Amino acid sequence: MGYSKTDELAINTIRTLAVDATLEANSGHPGAPMGLAPVSHVLFNKFMTFNPKNPDWVNRDRFVLSNGHGCMLQYALIHLFGYNVTLDDLKNFRQVDSITPGHPEAHDTPGIEVTTGPLGQGFANAVGLAIAQAHTAAVFNKPGFDLINNYTYMIFGDGCAMEGIASEAASTAGHLQLGNLIAIYDDNHISIDGDTKCAFTEDVLKRFESYGWHTQHVENGDSDLEGIEAAIAKAKEVKDKPSVIKLTTTIGFGSKLQGTGGVHGNPLKADDAKQVKEKFGFDPEKTFQVPQEVYDMYHKHAAEGAAAEEEWNKLFEKYGTEHKDLHADLSRRLTGDLPEGWVSKLPTYKPSDPAIASRKLSESVLEAIHDVIPELLSGSADLTGSNNTRWKNAVDFQPPSLGIGEWSGRYLRYGVREHAMAAIMNGLSAYGTIIPAGGTFLNFVSYAAGAVRLSSLSHQRVIYVATHDSIGLGEDGPTHQPIETLAHFRALPNMMVWRPADGNETSAAYYMALTSKETPSILALTRQNLPQLEGSTIEKAIKGGYVALENEKADVTLVSTGSEVSLCLEAVKTLKDQGLTARVVSLPCVEVFDAQDKDYRLSVIPDGIPTLSVEVMSTLGWEKYSHEQFGLNRFGASGPYKEVYKKFEFTPEGIAKRAKLTVDFYKDVKPLRSPLNRAFTQLI
């Protein structure tokens, strides 16, 4: 306790930096940083331990700004503490190729833990970071070695509080009794539509109580630094519940328009900016002013953080002498590399092996590798028995007091909360010691689209186990049968969409998902059984596409994925009876196939003969790999899956019919180029 003039000066420095940066950019959100400067000053200086010279130190306290539009708050703090973000970077706020974009992006800016801005995401990411801490601590901490004991702090606003994803994540955190999670609710009564009373009149703290959170209210968030400090200290004492502190603040504190929507999403007017500076004792004519004593104060705290890391490094070294294997394990995890020899555990299959659903093949992979990849943490959004995401001896991640699991458990029961699951997995991955895999039906990955997008944008190694991947799920019907889903996620940059056709391809999908450190994956898996293919191997499949059946002098190439590959192989026989020769390409992951060299790709989908794609959902995008497309551009049907396939002509005969039409149609075209031959390459 005990705050000085320098504290006040530091708070006002953050406020004026936010004013200047948004004014310079003529864009951005000054209001939240101005309102949240006091709490963040207290939080970062009195409670948080971190080393700006090594933003990756594993035991640092995590900070998440869920209302990411207020990111000038973070950029100002990061700069003041001495992360590699300069005053020039602040001046380049919201400019092309700067490291200070309009919303904080974890991949590009040191000190930013997760990518936020889309509302509610950061809230759920923070729950993931807190789960990761609890789990990692349970695995690695030993008597005398309290290695992993960081807290996760998170600020969220009214917007986040309204989003369903935050509700899902808050309910999860309460259930899991995450005492290491402390959230500050910026209760400023303003959202873009103005006063929150127009849409948001619920009792937020009562809601969090219902989830099992500890709640407090600090009524004067603008200047009651002691009150803020006491509340955070109290929250830290509560070990068996996450904490939320409702902090009533004045948005745009200091502006003539403070407390109104006018300071939410627009820079202050020039004269208002001047009066703010005068009010706070700054030169109204100057911009981006940082008093030296503010730098001094913040750098001193940074130095304490650096010293804390140094202490930790010593402790960790000593840990290595007493717990050699655990030390090696944690060290390895932090590099992102997998343990040596793990690949040999991947199941392989022969054509004579029985037909198995790829969701079951996925289960076999998890069963085979979970021992050798201890950082793998699986789970499901309440579809465990359908997604087959749980290995036999798995222990649930649960608060031990519930009697149904342990903190060290590696299986997460996400509940029916797909969106939070995805964002929690982003947080788990961002922590640095865990590779998360989570299951739902492919159709309901769409519920999580907002977070899946951020898996891609923020380069998280997250694995979506998406079963029941087509009309092949049968009786559940059109409400559950994906049509648009693969097209959606194939259009998403930095996402691998895998749709394996058999066991070897399923192992290949896991190989790529696990070894791609900066790319998430969606594994689209069947409910129905699939035969083991003659021509498949892991080695071929990890190229994303390969020739599953070659035929010299073929008339047509059939290119397909997943459950339709074996149908295409059947269709080859039907076509043969009709005097046509076909070859078959399996393309389990177009993104990985696209990354192969052109010679290889053209050997798979060659010039000279037409190509027909076969996939039992939207044809959108298949024109890139084929001359003609057989798909399903309508909703499916409820019934036994073989009858549903038949209804839509996904049979050897239905494929053969279209292959013949394709051959006939392209007979006169010279030269008939592979669709892979393009006039120019796309920008990346």
> What distance in Å separates the CA atoms of residue 63 and residue 116, rounded to the nearest whole number?
12
* Residue 356 beta carbon to a second copy: minimum distance, rounded to whole angstroms: 20
Q: What is the DSSP letter of 473?
A: G
Q: Of 320 and 477, which CB lies nearer to a second copy in the complex structure?
A: 477
Q: Of 11 and 445, which CB lies nearer to a second copy in the complex structure?
A: 445
374 to 73, 139, 185, 286, 425: CA distances (angstroms):
37, 10, 35, 54, 16
Q: Of 207 and 274, which CB lies nearer to a second copy in the complex structure?
A: 207
Cβ contacts of residue 153 below 8 Å, gap of 6+? 43, 47, 48, 61, 62, 63, 64, 126, 182, 183, 184
* Residue 619 beta carbon to a second copy: minimum distance, rounded to whole angstroms: 7
Phi-psi group of 144: left, alpha or beta (phi > 0 → left; psi -120 to 50 → alpha; rest → beta): left
> What distance in Å separates the CA atoms of residue 44 and residue 364, rounded to the nearest whole number?
45
> What distance in Å separates the CA atoms of residue 361 and residue 467, rounded to the nearest whole number?
11
Contact yes or no for 434/132 (Cβ under 8 A)? yes
Residue 284 burial (C-beta neighbours within 10 Å; 0-12, 13-18, 19+): middle
Q: Of 8 and 209, which CB lies nearer to a second copy in the complex structure?
A: 209
State yes or no: is 518 an active-site residue: no
The pair of three-digit structure tokens given for residue 491, joined into one six-digit string: 């259009």
SS (H, E, C) 294-349: HHHHHHHHHHHHHHHHHHHHHHHHHHHHHCHHHHHHHHHHHHCCCCCCHHHHCCCC
Say which of 418, 505, 564, 591 is annotated catalytic.
Answer: 418
* Residue 485 beta carbon to a second copy: minimum distance, rounded to whole angstroms: 8
**455-480 burial: b if 16+ Cβ within 10 Å, else e:** bbbbbbbbbbbbbbbbbbbbeeeeeb
Which residues are bridge partners to 613 per DSSP? 559, 629
Q: Of 312 and 498, which CB lies nearer to a second copy in the complex structure?
A: 498
DSSP per residue, 74-86? HHHHHHHHT-S--
Contact yes or no for 123/165 (Cβ under 8 A)? yes
* Residue 436 beta carbon to a second copy: minimum distance, rounded to whole angstroms: 16
Torsions phi, psi for 155 (to 5 deg): -110, 135
* Residue 433 beta carbon to a second copy: minimum distance, rounded to whole angstroms: 23
Angle between helices 121-140 and 324-335 (to 10 degrees): 150
Q: Which residues are annotated as a binding site for Mg(2+)?
A: 158, 188, 190
Q: Which residues are annotated as a binding site for thiamine diphosphate?
A: 69, 117-119, 159, 188, 264, 444
Q: Of 244 and 514, which CB lies nearer to a second copy in the complex structure?
A: 244
* Residue 28 beta carbon to a second copy: minimum distance, rounded to whole angstroms: 7
Going 630 to 634 to 635 to 637, the CA torsion angle's sign is negative
Q: Which residues are annotated as a binding site for substrate?
A: 29, 264, 359, 386, 468, 476, 480, 527
Cβ contacts of residue 312 below 8 Å, gap of 6+? 57, 59, 147
> What distance in Å separates the CA atoms of residue 241 and residue 635, rounded to the nearest whole number?
45
Amino acid at residue number 59: N
Which residues are bridge partners to 64 per DSSP? 154
Angle between helices 358-369 and 503-515 (to 10 degrees): 50
Q: Of 4 and 210, which CB lies nearer to a second copy in the complex structure?
A: 210
Q: Which residues are annotated as a binding site?
A: 29, 69, 117-119, 158-159, 188, 190, 264, 359, 386, 444, 468, 476, 480, 527
Q: Of 372 and 449, which CB lies nearer to a second copy in the complex structure?
A: 449
Q: Which residues are catalytic?
A: 418
